[in-house]
Structure 1
């Protein structure tokens, strides 16, 4: 039973770190998209 629990814990930790990695990537993507949008807006304006 204890072994099963540690497996679940590892899964949770793995999933969490994957989610955090994705969030970091998303953050960079969002930032660059926003920068592009702002530049484009200035051109249009």
Structure 2
């Protein structure tokens, strides 16, 4: 009982960490795209 609860909690934490990392990398990708777009605006 207790061991399976611990395993579920660990899995939940890992999934949360993974989704946060996914979101962060998505934001970084968007940020880089914006930077590139702005760079091309000023230096065609």
Normalised by the size of structure 1, how large is the TM-score?
Answer: 0.76
TM-score of the two chains, using structure 2 as the length reference: 0.77
- The residue aligned with 1:16 is 21
Q: Which runs of 5+ in 2 are unaligned?
A: 1-5
Q: Which runs of 4+ in 1 moved over 4 A?
A: none
Partner of 2:10: 5
Q: CA RMSD in A?
A: 1.0
Cα displacement string for residues 15-39 of structure 1 (whole angstroms, at most 9, x for unaligned residues): 0000111111111000011111224
Count of matched residue pairs: 39
Q: Secondary structure at the residue paired with 2:11? A: helix
